[in-house]
């Protein structure tokens, strides 16, 4: 058996015992295997040290990574707690504001309920409002008929009132709608007179009065000058010139018309002004639908223009033709009124007011 001394690092031979086998021969050949064994041991130790070092390094890196992550996590937790605190504060503020808004909404709702109750007590019904509007429309239409004789405007007002009543669709509005229908039929039967167009034509004649020539101002065309021979003597030229001057002083005209009345400049001014007043009076009679006065004024104006103005002038002829055309227009002798419709709407309003005063529904 071979043993090794730790100090001497040399193998020693132990004394043989009874149990130990006899030493093998050739023991000097086992000695070269000892360095290889030491090399293996050293390699194992080096591998272990390297493994320990690598593990230690990895452990340190892992610890550093874990520490960094823990630090970041702590920072995030701190931020989350701060954010949670801010959110909690904001939530408390929002809850306080919401409570205040709820209180205001409740207050507004109570005020709205009180106002609605007051409105129901004071405001008229929908039928009363519609009837009041219809009454106003009928009053305006009646004024158009009585003051201006404007049948078309009155008819349009009645149609608007009937359309408003049709949208309500109430059975108790039937008598009023029937009265409106009868009045609309009466207005449609009235002959249409274009008051605006006739007034424009009269205004055109009035504006052109100052430019119309009078009959006394018409001129007869001068006779053509006779050509003088070139070989006349001076005495003959003098005689022809004197004869031409004498013919220009005395002129004889044969006409189939009566002589034009002589009117002084002052009288011509008053003539034009009186004619203008006649045409203005005819326009007023037209607005009042007074056919008799209208035609009388036009006849007088036409007679004056025929007598005192130059009828061969184109403007005078146009004015005379216009007045003749206007004189043939037929005006309505009588314009109907809207008394029936006004009485019907007022009676219906009075019945609704009585029903509300007695406590029964008026609709």
Q: Within a domain: residue 173?
A: yes
pLDDT tens for each residue of 29-43: 445 577 888 888 888
pLDDT in tens, 260-278: 566 677 788 888 899 999 9
Is residue 212 a part of any domain in this protein?
Answer: yes
The DSSP output letter for 8 is T
User: C-alpha 191: how far from its chain's center?
Assistant: 38
Six-digit token pair at 131? 């009837």
Over residues 64-69, mean pLDDT: 87
67 within a domain of the structure (yes/no) = yes
Pick from 215, 228, 127, 207: nearest CA to 172: 127
Residue 346 in any domain: the answer is yes
Same domain, 204 and 289: yes
329-339 confidence digits (pLDDT tens): 877 667 788 88
Domain's final residue, options 123, 148, 170: 123
Per-residue pLDDT band at 18 (split at 50, 70, 90): very low
In a domain, 242, yes or no: no
Please tell me which residue, 226 or 67, carries the higher pLDDT value. 67
Is it the case that residue 8 has pLDDT exceeding 80?
no
Expressed as residue numbers, the domain containing 287 is 193-217+260-334
3-state secondary structure 157-171: HHHHHHHHHHHHCCH
* The domain boundary residue, chosen from 123, 146, 163: 123
Residues 306 and 343 in one domain: no
- Please tell me the least confidently modeled range out of 4-18, 167-181, 324-338: 4-18
272-323 pLDDT per residue, tens: 899 999 999 998 888 777 788 888 999 999 988 888 888 888 888 899 999 9
Residues whose CB is less than 8 angstroms from the CB of residue 317 and which lie 6 or more positions away in sequence, other chains included: 311
Residues 152 and 62 placed together within one structural domain of the fold: no
- Rounded Cα gap, residues 101 and 298, in angstroms: 79
The reply to whether the predicted model has a pTM over 0.85 is no
Counted domains in the chain? 3
The dihedral region occupied by 149, where left means phi > 0, alpha psi between -120 and 50, and beta the remainder, is left
Give a yes or no: residue 12 inside a domain.
no
Co-location of 117 and 171 in the same domain: no
Alpha carbon of 86 to those of 74, 79, 89, 92, 99: distances in Å? 18, 10, 5, 10, 20
Where is the domain boundary, 123, 152, 180?
Answer: 123
Helix (H, G, I), strand (E, B) or coil at 259: coil
Q: Kindly state whether residues 205 and 313 are assigned to the same domain.
A: yes
Residue 133, SS3? helix
Do 285 and 315 fall into the same domain?
A: yes
Residues 54 and 147 reside in one and the same domain: no
Residues 47 and 103 in one domain: yes
Residues 271 and 296 occupy one common structural domain: yes
**Do 59 and 153 fall into the same domain?**
no
Tens digits of per-residue pLDDT, 353-363? 787 677 554 44
3-class secondary structure, 2: strand
Separation CA 177–CA 162 (nearest Å): 6
Residue 102 in domain: yes
User: Tokens in use for 203?
Assistant: 């205004």
98 and 148 co-located in one domain = no
Q: In this structure, are 79 and 105 located in the same domain?
A: yes
> Would 330 be classed as within a structural domain?
yes
């Amino acid at each position: 058996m071979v043993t090794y001394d730790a100090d001497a690092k040399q193998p020693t031979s132990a004394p043989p015992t009874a149990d130990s086998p006899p030493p093998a021969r050739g023991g000097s050949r086992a000695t070269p295997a000892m360095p290889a064994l030491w090399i293996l041991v050293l390699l194992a130790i080096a591998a272990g040290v390297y493994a320990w070092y690598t593990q230690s390094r990895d452990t340190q890196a892992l610890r550093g990574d874990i520490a960094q992550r823990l630090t970041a996590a702590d920072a995030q937790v701190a931020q989350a707690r701060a954010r949670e605190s801010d959110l909690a504060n904001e939530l408390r503020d929002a809850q306080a504001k919401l409570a205040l808004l709820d209180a205001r909404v409740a207050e507004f709702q109570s005020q709205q309920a009180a106002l609605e109750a007051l409105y129901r007590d004071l405001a008229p019904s929908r039928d009363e409002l519609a009837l009041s509007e219809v009454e106003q429309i009928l009053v305006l239409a009646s004024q158009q008929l009585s003051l201006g004789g404007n049948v078309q405007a009155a008819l349009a007002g009645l149609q608007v009132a009937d359309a408003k009543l049709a949208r309500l669709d109430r059975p108790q509005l039937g008598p009023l709608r029937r009265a409106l229908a009868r009045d609309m039929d009466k207005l449609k039967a009235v002959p249409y007179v274009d008051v605006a167009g006739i007034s424009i034509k009269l205004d055109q004649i009035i504006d052109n009065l100052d430019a119309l020539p009078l009959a006394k101002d018409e001129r007869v065309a001068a006779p053509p000058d006779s050509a003088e021979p070139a070989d006349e003597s001076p005495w003959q030229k003098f005689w022809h010139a004197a004869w031409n001057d004498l013919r220009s002083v005395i002129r004889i005209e044969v006409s189939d018309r009566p002589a034009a009345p002589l009117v002084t400049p002052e009288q011509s001014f008053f003539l034009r002004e009186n004619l203008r007043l006649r045409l203005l009076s005819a326009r007023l009679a037209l607005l009042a639908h007074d056919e008799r006065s209208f035609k009388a004024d036009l006849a007088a104006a036409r007679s004056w223009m025929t007598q005192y103005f130059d009828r061969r002038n184109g403007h005078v002829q146009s004015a005379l033709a216009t007045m003749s055309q206007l004189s043939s227009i037929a005006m309505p002798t009588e314009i109907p009124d809207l008394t029936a419709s006004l009485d019907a709407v007022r009676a219906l309003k009075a019945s609704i007011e009585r029903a509300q005063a007695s406590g029964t529904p008026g609709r």
